[in-house]
């Protein structure tokens, strides 16, 4: 039997990180649809993240992206966030938006460009020193479009050298989250295309390097929960970039396309007792809200993760283990499906009420007047960073 009060405690202490870029205007390469009231500065993005935390109670940190969130004084930005009740989370680097990086950043055949890219990564650790961030999230757009364009193996050597230099600059409490992505913008070969490549580089680097799983970065049909289980067993799962995809790297709201997949992922987390923030996994969103209103979309995304987590926590693990040991295929599957098919919304409403929150976070946001205020106050919203 599942202990309901333990489930509620786990849900109350869950932490989901929201990304600063989710609050800005975004789009595809075809069109960016500007929305009224979007943030014009890193401070305003943090204010929106704090609003999401205010209504959900489980989004206490916000990820920044350098240079999109560049400021002169990161200490002041950190204090600003803390005054609003949130903290700065992962620092994301950007070595993909400069003409120099056409043929790659840290894997570029030109050593001068590699130096520039690596220096950016080192600078980002300086930002972490000022914000107190634990995590440096690295995603490289590096890759090649044509067979023969560059030497596949040598590019791995260049990547390893840049990662080594970056790793060696980390403080004792800091770590690298190394993200992988199958394709885009490179179409023939990406330098970190899959979890295995990321994992191998992390192992080579040392214990402070762990893999970041972006749920939108796989081939269709990939069993992501297997990757989760495997990396947890190896102690190398550092973070998630949660989002939903139908076709490629769609960055839609997590749990929108496939809530069952999200449940299966969260079950592996629960199975490994890795949900509590003290375990060290960063549960981040990496999303763009191109056509829907941004703050309620982020709130909805946080709630989708909560719902998948609640269902995962409700799995009767004793009954499941018994059925698995007995080789009772149908019963084992039924135990898992019973939990998935439970309506956990009343349970989450109770968890929110216990925490002094409105049980309906999206409704509470809509009633708060925040959206009207930002639409009045913020004249010209800034773009998130890409998609121009």
Least separation in angstroms between residue 102's CB and ligand AOS is 17
Q: Is 180 in the site for ligand AOS (CB under 6 A)?
A: no
Give per-residue burial for 219-229: e unless 16+ CB within 10 Å, then b. Answer: eeeeebbebbb
What residue is closest to Zn ion based on CB? 241
Selection from Zn ion, ligand AOS, none that 92 binds (CB < 5 to 8 A by kind) is: ligand AOS
Strand partners of residue 32: 27
Number of residues this chain uses to bind Zn ion (CB under 5 A): 4
Q: Which is nearer to Zn ion, 17 or 241 (CB)?
A: 241
Cα 50 from chain centroid? 17
Least separation in angstroms between residue 205's CB and ligand AOS is 19
Q: Which segment (17-25, 92-100, 246-254, 308-316) binds Zn ion by CB under 5 A?
A: 246-254
Strand partners of residue 17: 284
Among 23, 55, 139, 167, binds ligand AOS (CB under 6 A): 139
List the interface residues with Zn ion, window 13-72 (CB under 5 A). none
Q: Is 241 in the site for ligand AOS (CB under 6 A)?
A: yes
The encoded tokens of residue 219 equal: 């081939």
How crowded is residue 244: how many other Cβ atoms within 10 Å of its Cβ?
A: 21
Least separation in angstroms between residue 244's CB and ligand AOS is 13
Q: Is 191 in the site for ligand AOS (CB under 6 A)?
A: no
Cα 211 from chain centroid? 12
How crowded is residue 362: how many other Cβ atoms within 10 Å of its Cβ?
A: 16
Closest CA to 319 of 306, 343, 338: 338
Q: Is 194 in the site for ligand AOS (CB under 6 A)?
A: no
Whether the CB-CB separation of 295 and 23 falls below 8 Å is answered with: yes
Least separation in angstroms between residue 92's CB and ligand AOS is 5
Q: Rounded to an integer, what distance in angstroms lies between the CA atom of residue 239 and that of residue 160?
A: 20
Q: Which is nearer to ligand AOS, 240 or 370 (CB)?
A: 240
Q: Is 358 in the site for Zn ion (CB under 5 A)?
A: no
Q: Is 249 in the site for ligand AOS (CB under 6 A)?
A: yes
Q: Is 214 in the site for Zn ion (CB under 5 A)?
A: yes
DSSP code string of 9-22: HHHHT---BEEGGG
Q: Which is nearer to ligand AOS, 135 or 214 (CB)?
A: 214
Q: Rounded to an integer, what distance in angstroms lies between the CA atom of residue 124 and that of residue 139?
A: 13
Whether the CB-CB separation of 286 and 251 falls below 8 Å is answered with: yes
Among 286, 295, 308, 315, binds ligand AOS (CB under 6 A): 286
Selection from Zn ion, ligand AOS, none that 45 binds (CB < 5 to 8 A by kind) is: none
Q: Rounded to an integer, what distance in angstroms lies between the CA atom of residue 243 and that of residue 386?
A: 17
Q: Which is nearer to ligand AOS, 50 or 182 (CB)?
A: 182
Q: Rounded to an integer, what distance in angstroms lies between the CA atom of residue 297 and that of residue 292?
A: 7
Q: Is 23 in the site for ligand AOS (CB under 6 A)?
A: no
Q: Please report, for residues 158, 164, 195, the alpha-carbon distance to residue 385 in angstroms, rounded to integers and kept in the order given.
A: 27, 28, 26
What residue is closest to ligand AOS based on CB? 139
Closest CA to 140 of 89, 223, 201: 201
Q: Is 114 in the site for ligand AOS (CB under 6 A)?
A: no
Which positions touch Zn ion (CB under 5 A)?
Answer: 214, 241, 249, 286
Which positions touch ligand AOS (CB under 6 A)?
Answer: 21, 65, 92, 139, 179, 181, 214, 241, 249, 286
């Amino acid at each position: 039997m599942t202990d309901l009060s333990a489930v509620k405690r786990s849900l109350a202490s869950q932490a989901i990180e929201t990304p600063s870029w989710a609050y800005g205007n975004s789009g595809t390469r075809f069109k960016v649809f500007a929305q009224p009231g979007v943030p014009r500065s890193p401070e305003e993005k943090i204010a929106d993240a704090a609003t999401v935390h205010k209504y959900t109670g489980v989004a206490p940190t916000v990820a920044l992206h350098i240079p999109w969130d560049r400021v002169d004084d990161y200490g002041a930005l950190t204090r600003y966030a803390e005054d609003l009740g949130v903290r700065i989370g992962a620092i994301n680097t950007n070595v993909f938006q400069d003409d120099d990086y056409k043929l790659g950043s840290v894997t570029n055949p030109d050593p001068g460009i590699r130096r520039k890219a690596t220096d950016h990564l080192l600078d980002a650790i300086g930002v972490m020193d000022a914000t107190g961030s634990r995590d440096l999230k690295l995603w490289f757009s590096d890759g090649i479009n044509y067979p023969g364009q560059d030497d596949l193996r040598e590019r791995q050597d260049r990547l390893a050298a840049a990662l080594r230099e970056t790793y060696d600059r980390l403080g004792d409490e800091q770590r690298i989250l190394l993200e992988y992505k199958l394709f885009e913008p490179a179409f023939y070969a990406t330098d970190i295309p899959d979890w295995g490549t990321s994992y191998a580089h992390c192992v080579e680097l040392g214990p402070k390097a762990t893999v970041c799983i972006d749920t939108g970065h796989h081939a269709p049909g990939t069993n992501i929960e297997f990757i989760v289980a495997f990396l947890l067993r190896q102690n190398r799962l550092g973070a998630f970039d949660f989002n939903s995809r139908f076709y490629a790297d769609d960055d839609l709201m997590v749990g929108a396309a496939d809530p069952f997949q999200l449940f299966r992922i969260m079950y592996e987390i629960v199975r490994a007792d890795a949900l509590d923030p003290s375990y060290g996994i960063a549960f981040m969103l990496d999303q763009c809200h191109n056509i829907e209103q941004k703050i309620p979309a982020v709130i909805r995304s946080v709630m989708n993760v909560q719902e998948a987590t609640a269902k995962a926590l409700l799995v009767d693990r004793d009954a499941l283990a018994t059925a698995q040991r007995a080789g009772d295929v149908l019963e084992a599957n039924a135990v898992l499906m019973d939990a998935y098919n439970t309506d956990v919304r009343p349970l989450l409403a109770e968890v929110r009420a216990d925490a002094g929150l409105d049980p309906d976070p999206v409704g509470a946001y809509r009633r708060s007047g925040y959206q009207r205020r930002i639409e009045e106050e913020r004249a010209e919203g800034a773009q998130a960073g890409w998609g121009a």
